[in-house]
Structure formats: C-alpha cells, structure tokens
Amino acid sequence: MRLRIISPTKKEEFEVVWIEVLTPEGSFIIQKFHAPTTFLLSPEKEFTYRCKTGKQETRVLEKGGLLEVTSEEACLLIN
C-alpha cells in the first residue's frame, strides 16, 4: 500500500506493508485493503510503518495528525 506523508514543508511517499498508529481510542494496525477510515492521531505519540524494503521507521508526531485510509493508500497530514 502507498503511504503519503504531507507536512507544510515537505511531501514523502513510501510503499509500506503495514502502519501502526496511536489514537485517543487505542492502537491500530493498518494494512492493504483496510476499510476506509479517518484517524485522529494523538500528539506526542509514535507513528510506525514498515516499508516493503524491510526498513521500519518510527516518528513522534509532535502535534498529532490526521490519517485518511483507503483500501490502497494512507495519507498522513501533519503540522
């Protein structure tokens, strides 16, 4: 699945196997063909994803963010 991360200063795109997000409701794992969903991501929480290359990356979202998920793509908007 494609992951796009968009901030005011840059746009990034990755092919990922899964994404893990922390929301006020709990932790969620997102994979290809996930039901369309929008997540409000908690400030100061980790956002983790594993690329198809095997590389895993974790970021701390200082101000939180908004993640929109479709069956083929996830788009993370952050400040």
Q: Residues with Cβ < 8 Å from 36, sequence gap 6 or more?
A: 69, 70, 71
| Res. 70: pLDDT tops 90 | yes
CB-CB neighbours of 10 under 10 Å: 7
Q: What is the pLDDT of residue 23?
A: 87
Q: Count up the domains in the chain and report the number.
A: 1
Is the pTM of the predicted complex or chain greater than 0.85?
Answer: yes
pLDDT in tens, 55-66: 999 999 999 899
Torsions phi, psi of 46, nearest 5? -85, 150
In angstroms, rounded to a whole number, what is the distance separating the alpha carbons of residues 67 and 55?
21
| Res. 68: pLDDT tops 90 | yes
CATH of the domain at 74: 2.60.15.10
**What domain range includes position 52?**
2-78
Q: Do the beta carbons of residue 48 and residue 5 sit within 8 Å?
A: no
